[in-house]
Amino acid sequence: EAQVTQNPRYLITVTGKKLTVTCSQNMNHEYMSWYRQDPGLGLRQIYYSMNVEVTDKGDVPEGYKVSRKEKRNFPLILESPSPNQTSLYFCASSLGAGVMNTEAFFGQGTRLTVV
C-alpha cells in the first residue's frame, strides 16, 4: 500500500531536549517536505527536499533541521525544542515539484507538545 509514515503520532517533551520525528514513504517520490499546522494559520512549510542530499528552507525553518540521506526517509530534527514549537506536524511527499508538481501525500501527523 502506497503510504507516508510518520512517527511518533504523539509526543510530549521538555524544553531543550533534542527530538527527531521520522518520515518514510514507499512511493519512490523525489519531493518530500515538512509542515506545521497551527489554528488559523493553515499548513506552513518548514523544509523541503527535491531529492537525496538536496534540502532547502520553507517559510518557517527557524529551530528545525532536516536531512535526506536516502530517498525514502526525511526526518525532522528539533535540536532544542521550545514551547512555540508546540504544533501538529505533517510530512508529505510527491513525485516532483515545480513543473513536475503532482498530488501531495501526507503522513498521519505528529502532535508535539513542548513544556
Partner 1 sequence: GENVEQHPSTLSVQEGDSAVIKCTYSDSASNYFPWYKQELGKRPQLIIDIRSNVGEKKDQRIAVTLNKTAKHFSLHITETQPEDSAVYFCAPAGGGYNKLIFGAGTRLAVHP
Q: How far is the CB of 65 from partner 1 (least distance, A)?
A: 18
Nearest to partner 1 of 48, 74 (CB atom): 48
Q: Which of 43, 65, 67, 86 binds partner 1 (CB under 8 A)?
A: 43
3-state secondary structure of 99: helix
Q: Which of 48, 64, 74, 89 binds partner 1 (CB under 8 A)?
A: 48
DSSP string covering 27-87, please?
S--SEEEEEEEETTTEEEEEEEEEETTEEEE-S--TT-EE--SSTTB--EEESS--GGG-E
Nearest to partner 1 of 85, 94 (CB atom): 94
Query: Residue 60 in contact with residue 48, Cβ under 8 Å?
Result: no
| φ, ψ dihedrals at 99, nearest 5° | -70, -15
Q: Which of 76, 107, 112, 114 binds partner 1 (CB under 8 A)?
A: 107
3-state secondary structure of 100: helix
Considering only residues 64 to 103 of the shown chain, the ones binding partner 1 according to CB under 8 A are: 90, 92, 94, 97-103
Nearest to partner 1 of 85, 89 (CB atom): 89
Interface residues with partner 1 (CB under 8 A) are 31, 33, 35, 40-45, 48, 50, 56, 58-59, 90, 92, 94, 97-104, 106-109
